[in-house]
Amino acid sequence: MGAIALRNVEKTYGLGPRAVKVIHGVNAEIADGEFIVIVGPSGCGKSTLLRMVAGLEEITGGEIHIGGRVVNRLEPSERDIAMVFQNYALYPHMSVYDNMAYGLKIAKVPKAEIDARVAKAAKILELGHLLQRKPRELSGGQRQRVAMGRAIVRQPQVFLFDEPLSNLDAKLRAATRLEIQKLHAELGVTSLFVTHDQVEAMTLAQRMIVMNAGRIEQIGTAVEVYGRPATTFVAGFIGSPPMNLVSGQADGSRFTAGGETLHLPAAAPRAGALTLGVRPEHAALAPAGAWPLRVEMLEMLGAERLIYGRLGDAADAAAFTLRIDATLAAPHPGDVVRVHVPPEHLHWFDAASGARVP
């Protein structure tokens, strides 16, 4: 079926001393019918990895398996995949029907079957009333649905999505995310979806692969990645606003950072240099005691409010963000408030490697 296995996959551009390695020994197992999102910042190698699965980029080392076959030397047309690109890539002179049917016509699929496949895809994507229109007569969201319809009619083992929502406005992106979720629920086809948008990753993924500089930082469900980030990179990349990361020295229940000694609700896992992580929503204003936060700025976000400040008065005091309910009384810039964090919401990372400390 459509299971994918990446075994020590590498990619290098160039030869000799000028060679640049962009993918460093990636390993991942993707089950048949699973929806995986590859997420990371620009330049991390996520699209390159997807293009290697598609056969559009030659791999330098390792193996790619699709449906139990090693596909390293197979052409894209032989891999039984369908790809949806960021820029739609529709033929402007063809109708919606012809755009969706074109690949099947080239493959000499009988006309009756083409009609049946296009009709089914059009029904799923609510494109039935648009089949005779040209791409220029469609909105951005409709064009993206046509691109997805063209992939669906292929009936492939694997769908590959390369940042397909990047050209849509915020409202259309949200609506199209729902369509993609419904599409996967109905078809159950193995899917790899590349994005730099963590909201897309969190809402779409059954599991996500977080990439950084050509390496996998963490693989897991959205709950696992958000709740127990494996590294400081994941902690700082997943979440909006990101996790507070405070570097300092731990000594039992004391943590010294930026000239301020913070009294911890539970002892640190070990003494010495560590990075303390706290999600903004897991900290709360306290009437007394706890950590001092000197308020610098506030942001009103409707139902909630973000408080930006620093832990103490020193010049190098650590930055810290707090998320509170908008109905609570808000402090003012310059105020010093007290912040409490429950012990179960403290995250610890090695100061040198950035890896999570149990």
Number of other residues whose CB lies within 10 A of the CB of residue 240: 9
Nearest Cα residue to 220 out of 28, 91, 3: 28
Helical axes 170-187 vs 111-124, angle rounded to 10°: 130
| pLDDT at res. 111 | 93
Q: Are 38 and 193 in contact (CB under 8 A)?
A: yes
CA–CA distance, 10 with 23 (Å, rounded to integer): 5
Handedness of CA 130, 134, 135, 138 (dihedral sign): negative
| pLDDT at res. 87 | 79
What Cα–Cα distance (Å) separates residue 167 from each residue in 14, 94, 130, 254? 31, 21, 21, 48
Residue pLDDT, tens place only, 175-193:
888 888 988 998 899 999 9
The domains found in the chain, sorted by start residue, are 4-236 (3.40.50.300), 242-350 (no CATH)
CA–CA distance, 114 with 97 (Å, rounded to integer): 10
What are the two backbone dihedrals, phi and then psi, of residue 217, each rounded to the nearest 5 degrees? -85, -35
pTM for this prediction = 0.89
| pLDDT at res. 140 | 83
| pLDDT at res. 148 | 87
Inform me whether the pLDDT recorded for 288 exceeds 80: no
Inform me whether the pLDDT recorded for 254 exceeds 80: yes
What value does the CA radius of gyration of the chain take, rounded to a whole number of Å? 24
Inform me whether the pLDDT recorded for 29 exceeds 80: yes
The overall average pLDDT reported for the chain is 92
Band (pLDDT 50/70/90 cuts) for residue 79 is very high
Band (pLDDT 50/70/90 cuts) for residue 205 is very high
| pLDDT at res. 256 | 94
CA–CA distance, 330 with 305 (Å, rounded to integer): 8
Band (pLDDT 50/70/90 cuts) for residue 340 is very high
Q: What stretches of 194-305 show up as alpha helix (H) in DSSP?
A: 198-204, 222-227, 232-237
Q: Are 241 and 280 in contact (CB under 8 A)?
A: yes
CA angle centred on 193, ends 10 and 243, rounded to 5° = 90
Nearest Cα residue to 45 out of 25, 64, 61: 25
CA–CA distance, 12 with 171 (Å, rounded to integer): 38
| pLDDT at res. 329 | 87
Residue pLDDT, tens place only, 30-60:
999 999 999 999 999 999 999 999 999 999 9
